[in-house]
């Protein structure tokens, strides 16, 4: 069912801290949704679009992990579950990299009625030793059950941590829309996306679906 409240909107703010790339959020979405930032291995640094979005979105919070470098699936799952349950209102998950695998495991193991949508960016292939480090193997196998909330998978054509074919397989299994944004690496700070306006538009479209 559609939420009558508009989602986030993107406008240029040439005088903002990051020039024309800085988004502004419509106040009409405030108080209705909690945006939960779900980083991957190593967390997302200050130049990562997830961190920039957290500063801009209304009601945005981040899942905090005790150990970002040595992830334990059970511990990370409990941290996400605690964040979702303590968040006010319905939630929109914004996950990147290993955070996407975390969301897939969480949806398979926990009651997810509070989550209405998820933006799943660069889903690291935790099953592939060729593409991901051994430290994430505890998240294998990647769950392939259909997600109980609407979702969009955003993939890059040259992501070193997942092939486009595997990202496509994940999206199809999860019942998610797939968006290939071309050669953008792992869609992280090294991709030089700043606030990543294209991703902001995808989030807005997901919210309004």
**24 lies in a domain?**
no
The answer to whether the beta carbons of residues 162 and 122 sit under 8 Å apart is yes
What's the pLDDT score for residue 4?
34
* Residue spans of the chain under pLDDT 50: 1-7, 9-20, 24-30
Write the CATH number for 173: 3.40.50.1820
**21 lies in a domain?**
no
**39 lies in a domain?**
no
- Residue 168: in which H helix or E strand, if any? helix 164-174
Order the strands of the 150-155 sheet from edge to edge.
Answer: 60-62, 33-38, 90-96, 115-121, 150-155, 177-180
**140 lies in a domain?**
yes
What's the pLDDT score for residue 111?
87
Q: Which domain holds residue 110?
A: 48-208
What's the pLDDT score for residue 87?
95
The answer to whether the beta carbons of residues 176 and 121 sit under 8 Å apart is no
What's the pLDDT score for residue 153?
98
- Residue 34: in which H helix or E strand, if any? strand 33-38
Q: pLDDT per residue over 95-107, tens digit each? A: 999 999 999 999 9
The length of the chain, given as a count of residues:
209
**3 lies in a domain?**
no
**162 lies in a domain?**
yes
What's the pLDDT score for residue 209?
63
What's the pLDDT score for residue 148?
97
**79 lies in a domain?**
yes
**18 lies in a domain?**
no
Q: How many domains does the chain have?
A: 1
């Amino acid at each position: 069912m559609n939420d009558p409240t508009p989602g986030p909107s993107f406008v240029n703010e040439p005088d903002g801290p990051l020039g024309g790339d800085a988004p502004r959020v419509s106040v009409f979405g405030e108080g209705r949704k909690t945006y939960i930032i779900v980083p991957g291995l190593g967390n997302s640094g200050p130049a990562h679009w997830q961190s920039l979005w957290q500063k801009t979105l209304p009601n945005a919070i981040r899942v905090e992990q005790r150990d970002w470098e040595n992830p334990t699936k059970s511990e990370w799952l409990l941290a996400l579950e605690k964040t979702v349950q303590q968040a006010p209102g319905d939630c929109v998950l914004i996950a990147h990299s290993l955070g996407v695998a975390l969301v897939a495991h969480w949806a398979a193991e926990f009651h997810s009625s509070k989550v209405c949508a998820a933006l799943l960016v660069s889903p690291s292939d935790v099953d592939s030793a060729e593409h991901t480090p051994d430290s994430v193997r505890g998240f294998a196998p990647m769950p392939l059950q259909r997600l109980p909330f609407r979702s969009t998978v955003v993939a890059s054509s040259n992501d070193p941590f997942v092939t486009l074919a595997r990202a496509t397989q994940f999206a199809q299994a999860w019942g998610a829309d797939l968006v290939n944004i071309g050669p953008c690496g792992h869609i992280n700070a090294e991709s030089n996306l700043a606030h990543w306006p294209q991703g902001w538009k995808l989030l807005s479209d997901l919210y309004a679906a």
